[in-house]
Amino acid sequence: MTGMDEAVDTATEALFPAPTPPPPRTGDPLVDEAVDRLHRELAADPGEHAAAGSRVLQALQARLQDLGPE
């Protein structure tokens, strides 16, 4: 492999990163949906990552409030 081939491989990996595995299941449909949403949104525009994290945080906090003290 030449230096040019290595540069092309590196550029390709940067433009097309390997897909990440799906997030684990928790068994709670609302939590699973929030984590799935985060997984999808993190694969999109990096400029939206902070907003995506905030939306998921709000969804998870709402779910915790629904559970209440046990």
Number of domains in the chain: 1
pTM recorded for the entire structure: 0.61
What was the pLDDT predicted at 41?
Answer: 84
- Residue 35: CB atoms within 10 A of its CB come to 19
Q: Point out the residues of the chain with pLDDT beneath 50.
A: none
What was the pLDDT predicted at 38?
Answer: 87
What is the residue range of 41's domain?
24-70
What was the pLDDT predicted at 49?
Answer: 85
Residue 31 located in a structural domain: yes
Residue 8 located in a structural domain: no
What was the pLDDT predicted at 21?
Answer: 84
Give per-residue burial for 38-67: e unless 16+ CB within 10 Å, then b.
Answer: beebeeeeeeeeeebeeebeebbeeeeeee
Residue 62 located in a structural domain: yes
Residue 3 located in a structural domain: no
What was the pLDDT predicted at 25?
Answer: 93
Residue 19 located in a structural domain: no
- State how far the Cα of 35 lies from the Cα of 39, in Å rounded to an integer: 6
17 three-state secondary structure: coil
The rounded radius of gyration (Å) of the Cα atoms in the chain is 18
Residue 58 located in a structural domain: yes
